[in-house]
Every structure is written in C-alpha cells, then in structure tokens.
C-alpha cells in the first residue's frame, strides 16, 4: 500500500516519554546494589532489629513496638529513596554528562524530572509492600487513613526530592555521595523519623519541624491513629516549596 513505509519523524507524546523514563529510572534504582540497600534492606533491618531489641530490653513505648516502629520505618524508606538515592543518582548523572545529553533529547527537562518522580513513586510502592509485609508478619495491626497515607507519601516525596535535587545540583558527585549519606544517618539517628518526637525530650520539639520529623509524625498519624496529619503535611509542603525554589535557582545540569 502506498505510504506504508513512509517515515513519520517526531517525538512521542509527552506522557509516553515520561512513562518510559520513569520505567528506566526505576529499573536503574533497583539494579543498583547501594540504592537497593538504602531502599529496602536498611529499613527492614531497622524494623526487625528495633522490634526485637524493644522486646528484649523492655523499651517503654506508647504501644506495641511493631505498631510504633512500622510507620516510622516506612517514613525512613520514603526518605531514603526520595532524598538519598535520588541525590546520589542525579549527582553522578550530572558528572558523567547524562543529564546534559538527555537535555538535548526530545524529552524536555520537565519530562525528565517527571520521569524521576514517577520512578520514586514506583520504588516507594515496592517499599511499602515489602516493609509492610514484614511488619504484618511481625504482628502489625495498623489503623489506616488511606487519604492521610496518600498525602503523606506525596508530601514527603515532594519535600525530600526537592532537597535531594538541591544537593545534587550544587555539589560535585563525590561530595553529593558523602553529604546525602551523612544527612541520612543524622536524620535516622536524631531526626524523629523512626521514633516519635516525644522520645527525644527537649530536642523533639525542634525535630518535629524537620522534614524527617514531619514525615515520621505524618506517617504515624496516618497509620497509627487513622487520622489526617494536617500540621505535618503543611511542614512538609513548606520544605518542598523552599527546596524547589532553591533548586530552580541553583541547579546546574552539567
């Protein structure tokens, strides 16, 4: 037939390009051993180790250890992917010129960012399934507010992704690697993400305003109390806006 093999050059529709980019980004995250360690292995170790340690030493918590720790560990999983993994991956992509080359492709820069965010949600969905499954096996009995959980994941991803891109866009790749891991460890230890802010004494009143503290408190409200965490969501949104503005002004693509 006439015109059967007539070429039709041009870019694919933007949604299709974004979905393809998100699928590729998620595969790269899962295949990377360090990223997989941050995304799944460490949260599971923290959950299982925390529950066993709390039971053995008789740690006083507001409820059963698995019920108190699981929402915080899920918040830690979101933080590890949206901040640490994203910052490290983007930093090395910038160093090796990947971002520069993608910037000259039919995929617009906004589509590239949407693809990265889509990949984060795919990985986070897997984290929720894995960590939640381990928690259920340990006897977790959540009181879930579905809307609160959805908004918590969205707001937490927004806040930490903007901060991760900020770090990746202004520092060299090696410095990004060191800074992202250091911030992750500091927030894990004292950011009120795994344990409630009330467990930190006077420091807890300040830690709850950190993005880690707000994400932890929001997750505990959505999965522990079955309520919509309004104030923590506002805090996360504020961090996200600040991170986005700073990233837009300072991010360097090469």
**For the segment 199-225, what is each residue's pLDDT rounded down to a tens digit?**
888 888 899 999 999 999 999 999 988
pLDDT value at position 212? 94
Number of neighbouring beta carbons within 10 Å of residue 59: 15
What is the arithmetic mean of pLDDT over 14-32?
75
Give the percent of the chain with pLDDT over 70: 87
pLDDT in the model for residue 221: 92
CB 177 within 8 A of CB 88: yes
Average pLDDT of the residues of the chain: 85
Among all chains, which residue has been given the structure tokens 């923290």? 46
What's the pTM value of the predicted model, to 2 decimals?
Answer: 0.86
Tokens 């991010």, residue located:
251
Query: Residue 212 has what DSSP assignment?
Result: H
pLDDT score of 222? 92
Contact 165, 251 (CB under 8 A): yes
The two tokens of residue 13 are 């529709």
Binning pLDDT at 50, 70 and 90, where does residue 238 land?
very high
Model pLDDT for residues 181-195, shown as the tens digit of each residue: 999 999 998 889 988
């Amino acid at each position: 037939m006439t015109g059967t093999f007539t070429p039709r050059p041009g870019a694919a529709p933007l949604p299709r390009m974004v979905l393809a980019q998100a699928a590729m980004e998620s595969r790269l995250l899962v295949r990377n051993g360090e990223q997989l360690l941050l995304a799944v292995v460490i949260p599971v170790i923290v959950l299982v180790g925390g529950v066993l340690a709390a039971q053995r030493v008789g740690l006083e918590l507001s409820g059963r250890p698995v019920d108190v720790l699981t929402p915080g560990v899920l918040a830690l999983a979101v933080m590890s992917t949206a901040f640490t993994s994203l910052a490290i991956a983007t930093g090395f992509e910038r160093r090796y010129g990947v971002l520069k080359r993608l910037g000259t492709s039919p995929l617009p820069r906004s589509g590239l960012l949407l693809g990265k965010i889509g990949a984060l949600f795919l990985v986070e969905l897997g984290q929720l399934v894995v960590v939640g499954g381990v928690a259920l096996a340990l006897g977790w009995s959540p009181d879930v507010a579905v809307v609160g959980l959805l908004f918590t994941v969205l707001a937490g991803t927004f806040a930490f992704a903007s901060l991760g891109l900020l770090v990746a866009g202004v520092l060299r790749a090696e410095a990004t690697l060191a800074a992202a891991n250091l911030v992750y460890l500091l927030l894990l230890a004292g950011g009120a993400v795994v344990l409630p802010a009330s467990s930190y004494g006077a420091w807890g009143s300040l830690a709850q305003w950190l993005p880690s503290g707000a994400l932890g408190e929001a997750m505990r409200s959505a999965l522990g109390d079955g309520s919509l965490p309004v104030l923590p969501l506002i805090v996360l949104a504020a961090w996200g806006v600040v991170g986005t503005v700073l990233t837009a002004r300072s991010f360097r693509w090469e």
